[in-house]
Amino acid sequence: MKRNATIAILAAACFAAPLLAHAHGGKHFSAGAPGDPKQKARTIEVVMREGNGTMTFTPDRLEVKRGEQVRFVLKNDGALAHEFMLATVKENADHGKVMEKFPEMEHDDPNGKRLEPGKSAEIVWKFTKKGAFEFACLIPGHHAAGMHGLIIVK
């Protein structure tokens, strides 16, 4: 029970503050802001899978325009749970360290979802900032096995 309470407190500290800030007109997430599902969006399907000692996203590199809204259709075609977390490389690396301590941490956030095998989900995202951002699976060992991709916002 103590471990579950620690996970809940840690998750709240890591994720609630940025979400509340955004909901109240505060700062946006590093890669932009949650999109409006009622607005026009380009749909990009991202497939997660593992095999032959690697773990991958397909596609693993995307280019979008600043101001563009994207509907990510996430599909886990693998036999293991995977996740899609959209942030900077540094933020994902920092969060990956937390995931090493709490590998059962699940995500259902505006910028990330954890999916069990055979499941799918959507994230609608508006890219409001230029730069390079990463989408990654931060389940321990997955990033190191190649499960990360790059988004260039021009």
Task: List the Cα angle 73/151/116 in 5-degree steps.
Answer: 35
- Listed residue (34, 107, 132, 71) closest to 26, CA to CA: 34
Q: Which two tokens stand for residue 26?
A: 């505060």
- Beta bridge partners of residue 125, listed in sequence order: 34, 70
Q: Which two tokens stand for residue 85?
A: 């977390």
The domains of the chain are located at 29-153
> pLDDT tens-digit profile of 8-35?
444 444 444 344 333 434 445 888 999 9
End-to-end alpha-carbon separation of the chain, Å? 47
CATH, domain range 29-153: 2.60.40.420
DSSP-derived 3-state class of residue 128:
coil
For the full predicted model, state whether its pTM sits above 0.85: no
Supply the pLDDT for residue 28. Answer: 55
Distance CA 11, CA 80 (A): 22
> pLDDT tens-digit profile of 73-91?
999 999 999 999 999 999 9
Cβ–Cβ under 8 Å, residues 124 and 112: no
Share of the chain above pLDDT 90, in %: 69
